[in-house]
Structure 1
Amino acid sequence: MLNPMEEKIRAMQSFFGLTVTGKIDKETMEVMLKPRCGVPDVQRFSHFPGNPKWEKTLLTYRIVNYTPDITKMEVDYAVARALRLWSEVTPLQFLQVYSGEADIMISFGSKSHGDFFPFDGPLGVLAHAFAPGEDIGGDAHFDEDENWTLSGKGTNIFLVALHELGHALGLEHSKDERAIMYPTLLDNSVVDTSKFKLFSDDIAGIQALYGMKPRPTATKKPKPTDAPKNPAVPERCNPSLGFDAVTRMRGDLLFFKDE
């Protein structure tokens, strides 16, 4: 009978496609040392037990505090851009608020930061997030001990935010290495955020929860009212006669009434 530790090692080796031995060999250790998300691993796109999801399409989010590693504007951009990618393939919409309780509360903290899941210092666990729900549900926490960046050397805030917000919407980890919901991240990853797209596995997972983004319906343009073909000429001496506009053009005085 396997002991609990060996079972966990075997499950991790199976998830990452390693040789399943139940022992921490060199190959297993290399994977364990990669920077990663703090949510447990599962299989190809999956959802949390019970498939929790938001029962509304307009969600609020609030960035409670900021990392000093980059500017507030860069953090705001990274989060907004990440949420936009999820909204592009679902009916979900996101609104940033600046006070009070939001559906998704985003914060930076180090070591013990108030949720009973302490961070472990630089690298290791980069961040974690909670499935949709009340109170802490939907919240995302980022380890302040990381060196956060949008480009260059460090941990890419956009990629980690995109991953963690996937958890906040109801996705667990994917077994597909190309998916944003894959649990590990290469350090010093640099991407063009304006061109980055979700992988098909990420899209399949999120649409299994919320469906596809509705196609915009074409609206018919109102037809202009047809002018009368033979408009009646008004009586010039009628005392009740009035005009809508008068102008002078090329030496002529022009009077306009109705159409």
Structure 2
Amino acid sequence: MAVVGLCFLMMVMTCCKAVPTESLPEETIAKAQDYLSSFYSDVGVSAPGSVSRSSLDSFEDSLKKMQEFFGIEVTGQLDYKTLDVMSQRRCGVSDVARYGYFDGQPKWDKTEITYRVTDYTPDMSQNEVDSALAKALRLYSDVTPLQFRQIHSGTADITVMFKAKSHGDFFPFDGPNGTLAHAFSPGEGHGGDTHFDQDETWTLTFSGTNLFLVAAHEFGHALGLAHSQVQSALMFPTYQYVNTEGYVLPEDDKQGIQALYGTSTQPTVNPNQSPQPAPSSSPEPVPDRCSTDLVLDAATTIYNTLYFFKDNYYWRRRSFWDGIRTRKIQSLWPGIKKVDAAYELNGRQSSVTVFEGKMYWKIRRYSVQPGYPKPLRNLGLPSYVRKVDAAVHLTSTGKTLLFVNDAYWSYNERRDRMDRGYPKYIYRDFAVSRVDAAFEYRGYLYLSSGSMQTEYDYRRGRVTHSFFNNQWMNCN
């Protein structure tokens, strides 16, 4: 929508307070949906329209979550204040988090953290950029035991870059005056990396976008802080200029960072003394998630979180900002040592179906349901099938695809039986010879075959992208 059109709509809504969402222009609803999908995706966002009442309810639930976060009257309807907040410049990291920290409260396990600028902005001199970044990091080193050291070659803990549009992390920037920057939470690979949108005009004053203020906010994410609901906090998600002369970390942010790392007067812990897992409890080697030869056993979404399985381990990725964590499968589902395939079924009775060998389990709220495991033949698979290689539930069709060797079956969840006309050859429909892991994410179907993964547009029946499996793993 043009700026004039948006301003007109805002004036109308100021007079009328709120307009039922379904009566608004489609373009306005689409912009609101994009906002909610980007920053409130953990609560699920569906486009409201004439499709169904449930899609409108999903939109309203997400909108209420956003309104509650910003202290707006919670109505579930688009009004002037809500649209005004959505139009403000802001950080690109999601607002959905617990206790002001990223899921699992990730933090650096050392007190000296290195950073490196690989791509500078032409808006300022390199010395000005370096000075602004150092000043931003000093806000945190002044109140915690953390120390920061800039390096100019090699691999740093935090990589800083100025890039426009798509820049290799699945989260492209959107041009001027939208998303200003984003950063990943602490962890290996991309953990801590901080990216600034080069389409903004970066300055050290009130004009343009103040680099010191934005960098201080993003470095908060890089150290483990999520967004705050306190409007005066540095970690509030929307950009607001304040006088930077003598600026110190606001109290809300200070309490948050000190809860993670302690105060500057407390003795620090030697990172070399961090407890290590006993060799006897983990005799098998931990898979290398960053290897270009990584072959996945299975993958699925569970409550909007991606899970990737390999041998006796799994990696969990809640969002692109969270670090990757390696865990034993038995810590998630006791009794299941290895996962051959898995898929999530959403709805009133949300569940995850997990396959291992000739058996499968149904799990709800992380608990195995009574009567499981059951043999594969209960699903209607022939007796010669000894294991399922991959499985995925397609929300658009309500069908579950089960991949075995070079063929696949379609299972009708509503009728609880296999569809007729199967099995079919995988290659004829998906342009790969076999599938090791499969999952649906943000409207696309992802099929893993060997070390490579194919992004597939199921509605259009075509491959849109191919890449290594490890590109999901926050690897440099």
Give the structure-1-normalised TM-score. Answer: 0.79
Query: 1:177 corresponds to which letter in structure 2?
Result: Q
User: Residue in 2 aligned with 1:9?
Assistant: 63
Partner SS for 1:3: helix
Does 2:248 align with 1:197? yes
Matches within 5 A, 1:132-151: 132-151=186-205
Secondary structure at the counterpart of residue 76 of structure 1: helix
2:64 is paired with a residue whose SS is helix
Distance 2:99 2:130 in 1: 27
The answer to whether 1:88 aligns with 2:130 is no
Is residue 162–residue 195 contact of structure 2 (8 Å, CA) maintained in 1? yes
- Give, in angstroms, the shift of residue 19 of structure 1: 1.0
Is the 1:43–1:174 contact (alpha carbons within 8 Å) kept by the matching residues of 2?
A: no
Q: Does the aligned pair in 2 maintain the 1:42–1:174 contact within 8 Å?
A: no
Matches of 1:101 and 1:7, distance apart in 2: 42
| 8 Å CA contact 1:37, 1:127 repeated in 2 | yes
Structure (1/2) with the larger strand percentage: 2
Say whether the 8 Å CA contact 2:97–2:103 is kept in structure 1: no
1:1-259 equivalences under 5 Å are 3-42=57-96, 46-186=100-240, 189=241, 191-193=243-245, 195-214=246-265
- Tell me if the contact between 1:151 and 1:190 (Cα under 8 Å) persists in the aligned partners: no
Question: Aligned-pair distance for 1:45?
Answer: 6.0
Q: Give 3-state SS (helix, strand or coil) of 1:62's partner.
A: strand
Q: CA 1:113–1:151 in structure 2 vs 1: closer, same or farther (change >3 Å)?
A: same
Partners of 1:138 and 1:153 in 2: CA distance: 28
8 Å CA contact retained: 1:45, 1:202: no
Distance 1:67 1:95 in 2: 20
Distance 1:100 1:5 in 2: 45
Q: Is the 8 A contact 1:38 1:126 kept in 2?
A: yes
Q: Quick one: which amino acid aligns to residue 265 of structure 2?
A: P
Q: Separation in 1 of the partners of 2:131 and 2:242?
A: 15
Structure 2 equivalent of residue 228 of structure 1: none
In the alignment of these two chains, the number of paired residues is: 213
Tell me how far 1:191 sits from its aligned partner: 2.3
Q: Where does the alignment leave 5 or more consecutive residues of structure 1 unmatched?
A: 217-259
Segments of 4+ moved more than 6 angstroms: none
Distance in 2 separating the partners of 1:32 and 1:74: 31
State the distance in 2 between where 1:215 and 1:172 align: 24
Q: Which one is further off, 43-52 or 140-149? A: 43-52
User: CA separation in 1, counterparts of 2:184 and 2:260?
Assistant: 16
Query: CA RMSD for the aligned pairs?
Result: 1.6
The one-character-per-residue Cα deviations of 1:64-90 (angstroms, maximum 9, x if unpaired) are 111111111111011000001100000
Q: Given residue 89 of structure 1, which amino acid in structure 2 is its aligned partner? A: V
How far apart are the structure 2 equivalents of 1:175 and 1:161?
Answer: 19
- Separation in structure 1 between the aligned mates of residue 163 and residue 257 of structure 2, nearest angstrom: 28
Contact 2:145 2:266 in 1 (8 A): no
In structure 1, what is the Cα distance between the partners aligned to 2:190 and 2:72?
34
**Is the contact between residue 43 and residue 175 of structure 1 (CA under 8 Å) also seen in structure 2?**
no
Code of the aligned partner of 1:74: E
Q: Structure 2-normalised TM-score?
A: 0.43
Could you tell me how far apart the structure 2 residues matched to 1:172 and 1:149 are? 25
Alignment correspondent of 1:241: none
Q: Which of the pair has the greater relative contact order for Cα pairs under 8 Å at 6+ separation?
A: 1
Q: Distance in 1 between matches of 2:163 and 2:83?
A: 27
Q: Give the Cα separation in 2 of the matches to 1:191 and 1:99.
A: 34
Question: Which stretches in structure 2 are left out of the alignment for 5+ residues?
Answer: 1-53, 268-476
Q: Equivalents in 2 of 1:181, 1:192: separation in Å?
A: 15
Residues 37-73 of structure 1 deviation map (CA, whole Å, 9 limit, x = unaligned): 0111147961100000000000000011111111111
Identity of aligned residues (%): 58
